[in-house]
Amino acid sequence: MRILIVEDNVRVGDVIARALRSDGHQVSLAATRASGAGELARSSFELAIIDVGLPDGSGLDLCREARKGGIDLPILVLTARTGVDDRVAGLDAGADDYLGKPFATAELTARVRALGRRGPKWAEGKREYGRLCIDRERRIVTLDGEALAFTPRELDIVSLLAWRDGRVVSKDELLETVWGNTGEGVAASLDVLLARIRRKLAPLGVDTIRTVRQVGYAWSLERSKRS
């Protein structure tokens, strides 16, 4: 994969770059929010690793700007702040995963591999649910013809649930399929992303994802007859 690292600490950036190159990736480095934004705009990356504490602003603001600009690559956020509120802030900014400092390079490369898989494969085809359309080929969800600002992880969750046609998907299956592991940290991330998906689909006026207590989740919408 072509990966952008936005990290102002030269030593940390070099350690990450060496680990990723050893894992077979192509790596570019940026040291500021501004240079990171420029790299994302100019080049075609497949994944970005962004430190929160950059000298000219927050890495979370860079995440927000990237998502608003339609940049759809997976984003891994790095930060020394690892509380639940900090993790939620990272996910709300549009990040797909969150890794606290200090970290083992083996864990970082494993997270990168999991993000690179991007969860379930998006087979060709699309489905319509009244005003809502999920297009797996284009990797886009629209409501009344307008694209919704979904992150890649949110798209993967919606895709997996919707293509099960109302059948219950266990929490562990969602975690394993979308994240590649079932640890406590990613379980908390799933809860945040499900809440965010529901908020984005709230204009439909119905609960799009049904929670089945102690079992998992199920897609609630019925397909339009023509889809």
Q: Label residue 124 by pLDDT band (50, 70, 90).
A: very low
- pTM (predicted TM-score): 0.60
Do 131 and 103 share a structural domain?
A: no
Name the amino acid, one letter, at 148: L
Asked if residue 226 belongs to a domain, the reply is no
Domain membership of residue 153 as a residue range: 126-219
Neighbours of 37 (CB within 10 A): 19
Most confident stretch, 79-88, 173-182, 187-196: 187-196
Do 109 and 7 share a structural domain?
A: yes
- CATH code (residue 78): 3.40.50.2300
Do 109 and 11 share a structural domain?
A: yes
Q: Label residue 118 by pLDDT band (50, 70, 90).
A: low
Give the residue from 94, 117, 140 where a domain finishes.
117
pLDDT tens figures, 107-116: 999 989 888 7
Q: Mark 167-177 as b/e (b = at least 16 C-beta within 10 Å).
A: eebebeebbee
